Amino acid sequence: MAGDAAEARDRLLAVVGSQARVAVRECPAWREIDAQPHLAAGGRLVRCGPGIDAPSRADLLAVDVGVTGATALVVETATALIGADDAYAQLVSNLPFSHVVLAHTHAIVPTLGEGLGLVRYFAQGVLGRPVPRYVGAVSGASRTGDIEMVIVEGMHGPGRVHLILLDFPVPGWEALPPEAFTA
């Protein structure tokens, strides 16, 4: 848990390391911690999202770490819900071997229903539609097994998932109405 933007940025940089190539699905949490100048050096950063030139397929396939925000964090299922209106959130969270989720403690909700309610509220307020075009549910590293009981990590998604909780005030979150949490 990070108590301020600088601590969150330091935690992200520690997870990413000094050589990894990073794909970021732009989100408010990413902008709040101001990590872009630290990762952009040496061409290690691939940015994705609305209003940004689309990265090439080769650029996305070459990244080691993907960074996304989360619209809600669901306690009952230990799941991060990612709502977005483009495909980049899915690509950035699933293609690289490591995925880092940035989320505010304000986004923690007890149930999946409340998490989906928060995603819906986000879509209506930010995207201007009833639901986002993409909702991803990240509940940990991808694992799969074959008939010989050999477990492989990272086959159908990230092999490692990191959560960086941002525990500092964000204007507007404290005023969410109760209906923001109903599906």
Q: Which domains does the chain have, with CATH numbers?
A: 5-181 (3.40.50.10420)
pLDDT confidence of residue 45: 85
Q: How confident is the model at residue 144 (pLDDT cuts 50, 70, 90)?
A: confident
Confidence check: pLDDT of 111 > 90 = yes
This prediction's pTM: 0.87
Taking the C-alpha atoms of residue 138 and residue 122, their distance in angstroms, rounded to an integer, is 18
Looking at the chain, the whole-number percentage of residues with pLDDT higher than 90 is 44
Looking at the chain, the whole-number percentage of residues with pLDDT higher than 70 is 92
C-alpha gyration radius of the chain: 16
Residues 176, 177, 178: CA angle, nearest 5 degrees? 120
Confidence check: pLDDT of 155 > 70 = no
pLDDT confidence of residue 14: 92
